[in-house]
Amino acid sequence: MKPTEKPQRRGSEAFSYRGSKQGILRRRTGTSILHCDDVSLPELVERYGTPLYVYSASLIASRVKAFQQAFKKVPHTLCYSVKANSNLSILRLLSEMGCGFDIVSGGELERVLRVDKRAGKRVVFSGVGKTYPEMEAAVKAGILLFNVESESELAILAQCATRLKRKVSVALRVNPDVSAKTHPYIATGLHQHKFGIPIREARGLYARTMAAKYLQIAGVSVHIGSQITDLSSFGQAMERVGELVEQLRSDGHTIRYVDAGGGLGIDYGERELPHFVEYVREYAGALLRPLRALEVHLLLEPGRSIVGPAGALLTCVLYRKMNRNKKFLIVDAGMTDLVRPALYDAYHEIVPVEVWDDSSSTEIVDVVGPVCETGDFFARDRKLQMVKEHDLLAILDTGAYGMALTSNYNSRLRPAEVLVDGKSAKLVRRRETISDLIGPERIGKM
The amino acid that residue 222 corresponds to is V
Label the pairing between strands 362-368 and 377-385: antiparallel
CA nearest neighbour of 351 among 405, 390, 315? 315
CB 363 within 8 A of CB 327: yes
Residues 6+ apart with CB under 8 A from 172: 147, 148, 149, 154, 197, 202, 205, 206, 209, 220, 221
Rounded to whole angstroms, the Cα distance separating 71 from 77 reads 9
Please pick, among 79, 99, 316, 372, the residue that the annotation labels catalytic.
372
Render 107-151 in DSSP notation, one character per residue: HHHHHHHHH-GGGGGGEEE--TT--HHHHHHHHHHT-SEEEE-SH
Write the single-letter amino acid at 24.
I
Cβ-contact 408, 328 below 8 angstroms: no
Q: What is the per-residue DSSP string for 360-406? A: --EEEEEEE-SSSSTT-EEEEEEEEE---TT-EEEEES-SSSSGGG-
Q: Which residues of 400-435 are buried (b: 16+ CB within 10 A; e: fewer)?
A: bbbbbebeeeeebbbbbbbbbbeeebeebbebeeee
Strand pairing of 350-352 and 326-331? Answer: unpaired
Q: Are 269 and 349 in contact (CB under 8 A)?
A: yes
- Cβ–Cβ contacts within 10 Å for residue 285, how many? 13
Measured CA to CA, the distance from residue 112 to residue 118 in angstroms comes to 9
- 316 is annotated as an active-site residue: no
Please say whether the beta carbons of 299 and 67 come within 8 A: no
Q: Which residues pair with 224 in a beta bridge?
A: none
CA 205 to each of CA 105, 126, 191, 193, 199: distance values in angstroms, whole numbers, following the listed order: 24, 18, 17, 19, 10
Catalytic residues: 372
